[in-house]
């Protein structure tokens, strides 16, 4: 769900993610600031979800993102 910035403290917390090491070299995982232990991950045809951490290889892979240069 996408919401517009209402300038509230809760909105800022909900939209802040902390970079963590990913499951493979050169990747990063994004942990929610407002919901520690929950990570942004891709699933269900590459939709983005915020889910609690699971100790499985499939989960770790789905929460790992590779940083690339932006499109120009």
**pLDDT, tens digit (0-9, with 9 covering 90-100), for 10-51:** 999 999 999 999 998 999 999 999 999 999 999 888 899 999
| 72 within 8 A of 56, measured Cβ to Cβ | no
Identify the sign of the CA torsion 49, 59, 66, 39.
Answer: positive
Domain boundaries, the chain: 19-65
Q: What is the pLDDT of residue 58?
A: 92
Q: What is the pLDDT of residue 3?
A: 84
Compute the distance between CA of residue 43 and CA of residue 33 in angstroms, rounded to an integer. 21
| 41 within 8 A of 2, measured Cβ to Cβ | no
Side-chain-side CA neighbours of residue 26 (13 Å): 3
């Amino acid at each position: 769900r996408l919401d517009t910035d209402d300038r509230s403290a809760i909105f800022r917390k909900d939209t802040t993610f902390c970079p963590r090491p990913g499951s493979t070299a050169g990747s990063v995982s994004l942990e929610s600031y407002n919901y520690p232990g929950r990570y942004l991950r891709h699933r269900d045809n590459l939709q983005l979800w915020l889910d609690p951490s699971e100790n499985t290889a499939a989960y770790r892979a789905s929460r790992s993102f590779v940083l690339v240069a932006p499109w120009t």
